[in-house]
Structure 1
Amino acid sequence: MTEATGNGLLLEAFDAQLFRDSAETAVSKLEKHLADQSIRGLELIHPQELARAARALMSEDSDSIGAFDEEKLAAIIDLYVRTGIQVHSPGYMGRQFSGVVPLGGVVDFVSSVVNQPSSFYEAGQLPNVAERIMADELNRFIGWEPDSFAMVTTSGGSLANLTAMLAARNRDFPQYWTEGGAAFGDRPRPAIAVGADVHYSVARAAGVMGIGEAQLVRLPLNDAQQIDVAGVRPALAEAERRGLHVFCLVASAGTTPVGAFDPIDELADITREKGIWLHIDGAHGASLLVSDTHRDKLRGIEKVDSLTWDAHKMMFTPAPCTLLFYREKAHSLGAFRQTASYVFDEEPDPFTELDSGDKNFECTKRPMIMPLWTMWAVYGRALFAKKIDYLCALTQEAHRILDGEPDFRTLHSPEANILCFRHHPEGADLDEEELHRLQIDIRDRVKHRGSFFISKVDIGSVAALRVVMMNHQITAEHFRMVLGEIRRAGQEILSSKGRR
């Protein structure tokens, strides 16, 4: 290949017309994908087989620029779409990430092309303004005083939880940032109180912060799998006797296992009395705030110190898009205490006022707010509220269906769109271990069949089947079809073991 030919192919890779042709290929494939309402779950392919298929699509020439091949692009898109969880299908009931509102995907596509990192206003002007606008819009449902609070976007709820807990730690142990563990000397050791069902990212954050799981104070749960308010004060008193200083209590608005909402209002009264920072991991359930029907599940949210809110879950936005709210604006500056002349301006002005690089871990950050803001600007709150209301009502209907089936047991009353249950085949006398193993085997068999995708979770010491209703295309009839698949799988498993 001559130098001129090589330069031509370099220019072609950035050519606007080629971009249009490539985009049209992708849009055509995705349009077909979105229009397909067939019931499909997960097509599991062995990793080695998938790797062979992927490598077969790669150029073998590493020294020269390959010419664009539309058929190869089409094949890559087909492989990408086919091998993932089918989040837009009525067969998808397994996880907490959702199919996106298509407009959100379009804007995310624009963000990838214009490539405006949004931690600093000069790099992403509209994303930074959009963050401020969405903070104000969503605060109408939280209830803090305008201009007194702050919001910053982060890449995922795990990072948001870590950031909020850093801010809480640095408030009570201001020297910890520079001096590490030596900062508290002979003082009580820093500790975090959490519900026993708290998301694993909180325990992970404690390890990252150098606090350690031994200094997590596990709060008891009630029968609804919520933090038991009656057990909080005794647990905190016991922690104090152990020489621990609980600086933060992390509660959940929609736990991952069963979607339970901790009693925020009552917990806020306790933490205020004791001077403890209250952080709410609302990654899943904070979105219920935009629903008139379900907002009360977060009663007392205006009293908390910080809130994690994943828009890529119940706001149906491309991932990641996490919003981290602080009740006090000054607290948003407490997580990271650094100076860096190449990014932080010594003399703030109106153009740097919206910078968030000093408030979040990321320096280069996707303009993740843009899909959410655009959807809110075009459709308004009602789009999100109506879908949330439908999914929660559908989950309640699924619960009623299970109550009428003698070979199924519900394990909780669903508070949102997560429902856990077990299959107890009629006539099968199973001990706990056998029942546990049966639920896991059923879930795996249903998954491998590829029509439906459901998940599982351990409740107590016994596994349970778990559905998460994230798709408004799902109906009660689809859920009945899932139950039929579960029964069939259970019968096959027991027969293979000579039990039926």
Structure 2
Amino acid sequence: MKEVFDVQLFRENSETAVGILEKHLSDQSVRGLELVDPAVLSRAARALMTTEHERVADFDGAKLAGILDLYVRTGIAVHSPGSMGRQFSGVVPLAGVVEFVSSVVNQPSSFYEAAQLPNVAEQIMAEELNRFIGWPAGRFEMLTTSGGSLANLTALLAARNKAFPDFWAEGGPGAAGDGRPAIAVGEDVHYSVSRAAGVLGIGEAQIVRLPLNEERQICPVRAETALAAAERRGLRVFCVVASAGSTSVGAFDPLDELADLAHRRGAWLHVDGAHGASLLVSDRLRAKLRGIAKADSLTWDAHKMMFVPAPCTLLFYREREHSLGAFRQQASYVFDEEPDPYTALDSGDRTFECTKRPMIMALWTLWSVYGRALFADKIEQLCRATALAYEVLLEQPDFEVLHRPEANILCFRHRPAGLSDPGPADERELHRLQVAIRNRVKQNGTFFISKVDIDGTAALRVVLMNHETTTEHFRMLLHEIRHAAQDIRTTARGNR
């Protein structure tokens, strides 16, 4: 068994991995997602497994190379200009190096004694990023957690416990006069918020849907009317959830007005900025989040627009004591009875994770080595590229653009001749066509795009996450969409 831990073997294995990754990163060809039949992939994976079960098998370098090659080849090509489908980012390569070190040294970061530098780095990054949020120094708190869904759930838990202090221990809303706990959200809110309502015992029936304007942002005036109607129905909205870069179209809700509205009604404002909070680091784009300093909590995914490996989510609270309200438990085996300067940095009592990866290290290292400009420059370039793609779409008579992009997400539909007149039958056919186009483009393997339903009808959706993606690549995508639509409609006519 000792040879498994041999340092020289470690070096050789690392060199194998670096060689495969270097080739992967050097490939700038336009490619999307090559889907492999799961049964075929399973057979390929099983063929790489040892058949030795009685003793530790001899190391086989070719087997390792095969495993790593299969792993790299069967994933989304996030570093390719053709990958436009999701909010997954090709990482800054140095961030991958840091993650490699983190995996080997294995320092769970929920407690300072287990991961000293990650906990200090977390505090440093909190201070660095708060310069763009604007909360008073010494009063706010930032924690890392594994993904935006978990961050949203944790923030809603803190908000619920603040509004209903007995809920944690006794369940239910407490006194009869408190009203039924409710959350108010925009129509385009991320599904994790609806899921959180179920997890928290609030129930989807107590989710108040706030109307959107033409830009698919929450409309504050109509939202006030909706909140008043909810109160008359016996609901107590304890939290309003706003989006800063909605998943569907990348819309930024008016945070300034919504914060005032929420606080007038005694509610907490949580901002789901998983995608768009990163715009704060850009002087040119920061105004999209005007009013963020009035929010009570903020979710910020660094693994999206800060280009580090997933997961790396930052959960901010405007008031530090609010971070202590999410969980109310004692566990003698992890929580110290007598706090000291070391345990003051522990986060295990404020996050779901008892064991947590030191996810801050990749972000802090990039920030330390390259500074803010690395992130600001790339984000601004992605937003410029998306704005140019929007202009290209406006020139295409057979495409319908659905919104002016606020960041790097753009949704549109292909409307070939014969589908230009709106009507129920045409809308159904238009919906089916967009879904079929997306699937055909994905199967072709040159581009990877996604789809989203907008007002009940499917739309094609691109997310520009790669600074190598140009307007020419986008024009190539439109050509492929047209070709796919022509094939789909020709086949459909032939089957009638």
What is the alpha-carbon distance in structure 2 between the residues aligned to residue 270 and residue 99 of structure 1?
38
Identify the match of residue 436 of structure 2 among 441, 446, 464. Answer: 441
Matches within 5 A, 1:178-197: 178-181=169-172, 183-197=174-188
1:5 corresponds in structure 2 to none
Question: Contact 1:173–1:184 at 8 Å: present in 2 too?
Answer: no
1:492 corresponds in structure 2 to 487
Shift of 1:498: 2.1
Q: Does 1:109 align with 2:100?
A: yes
Q: Match of 2:184, SS? A: strand
Q: Does 1:93 align with 2:88?
A: no
1:240 corresponds in structure 2 to 231
Shift of 1:236: 0.8
Shift of 1:428: 4.6
> CA offsets per residue over residues 428-448 of structure 1, 9 Å max, x none?
567000000000100100000
Shift of 1:427: 4.2
Q: Does 1:374 align with 2:365?
A: yes
Q: Residues 71 and 184 (structure 1 numbering): CA distance in 2 closer, same or farther, change over 3 Å?
A: farther
1:7 corresponds in structure 2 to none
Q: Match of 2:493, SS? A: coil
TM-score (norm 1): 0.97
Let me know the Cα RMSD of the aligned residues: 1.1
Q: Does 1:286 align with 2:281?
A: no
Shift of 1:233: 1.2
Which amino acid letter does the alignment assign opposite residue 364 of structure 2?
W
Q: Does 1:474 align with 2:469?
A: yes
Shift of 1:62: 2.0
Q: What fraction of aligned residue pairs are identical, expressed as a percent?
A: 71
What is the alpha-carbon distance in structure 2 between the residues aligned to residue 325 and residue 266 of structure 1?
20
Q: Residues 428 and 215 (structure 1 numbering): CA distance in 2 closer, same or farther, change over 3 Å?
A: closer
Shift of 1:185: 3.8
Runs of 4+ in 1 over 3 A off after TM superposition: 427-430
Q: Residues 202 and 335 (structure 1 numbering): CA distance in 2 closer, same or farther, change over 3 Å?
A: same
2:305 corresponds in structure 1 to 314
> CA offsets per residue over residues 164-214 of structure 1, 9 Å max, x none?
000000001111111011634453111000011100000000000000000
Q: Match of 2:413, SS? A: strand
Matches within 5 A, 1:35-434: 35-181=26-172, 183-428=174-419, 431-434=426-429
What is the alpha-carbon distance in structure 1 between the residues aligned to residue 52 and residue 194 of structure 2?
46
What is the alpha-carbon distance in structure 1 between the residues aligned to residue 205 and residue 393 of structure 2?
40
1:4 corresponds in structure 2 to none
Question: Contact 2:173–2:179 at 8 Å: present in 1 too?
Answer: no
What is the alpha-carbon distance in structure 1 between the residues aligned to residue 492 and residue 167 of structure 2?
58
Unaligned runs of 5+ in 1: 1-9
Q: Match of 1:224, SS? A: coil
Shift of 1:64: 1.3
Shift of 1:300: 0.3
Which amino acid letter does the alignment assign opposite residue 478 of structure 2?
L
Q: Does 1:460 align with 2:479?
A: no
Which amino acid letter does the alignment assign opposite residue 323 of structure 2?
S
Unaligned runs of 5+ in 2: none
What is the alpha-carbon distance in structure 2 between the residues aligned to residue 380 and residue 187 of structure 1?
48
Question: Contact 1:254–1:261 at 8 Å: present in 2 too?
Answer: yes
> CA offsets per residue over residues 402-432 of structure 1, 9 Å max, x none?
0001110100000000000000113456700
Shift of 1:352: 0.7
What is the alpha-carbon distance in structure 2 between the residues aligned to residue 325 and residue 491 of structure 1?
49
What is the alpha-carbon distance in structure 2 between the residues aligned to residue 398 and residue 494 of structure 1?
26
TM-score (norm 2): 0.98
What is the alpha-carbon distance in structure 2 between the residues aligned to residue 415 and residue 451 of structure 1?
26
Which amino acid letter does the alignment assign opposite residue 215 of structure 1?
Q
> CA offsets per residue over residues 295-325 of structure 1, 9 Å max, x none?
0000000000000000000000100000000
What is the alpha-carbon distance in structure 2 between the residues aligned to residue 413 and residue 462 of structure 1?
18
Q: Match of 2:112, SS? A: coil
Question: Contact 2:173–2:181 at 8 Å: present in 1 too?
Answer: no
Which amino acid letter does the alignment assign opposite residue 452 of structure 1?
F
Q: Residues 431 and 182 (structure 1 numbering): CA distance in 2 closer, same or farther, change over 3 Å?
A: closer
What is the alpha-carbon distance in structure 2 between the residues aligned to residue 185 and residue 344 of structure 1?
35
Aligned pairs, number: 491
Q: Answer with 218-227 or 419-428: which moved more.
A: 419-428
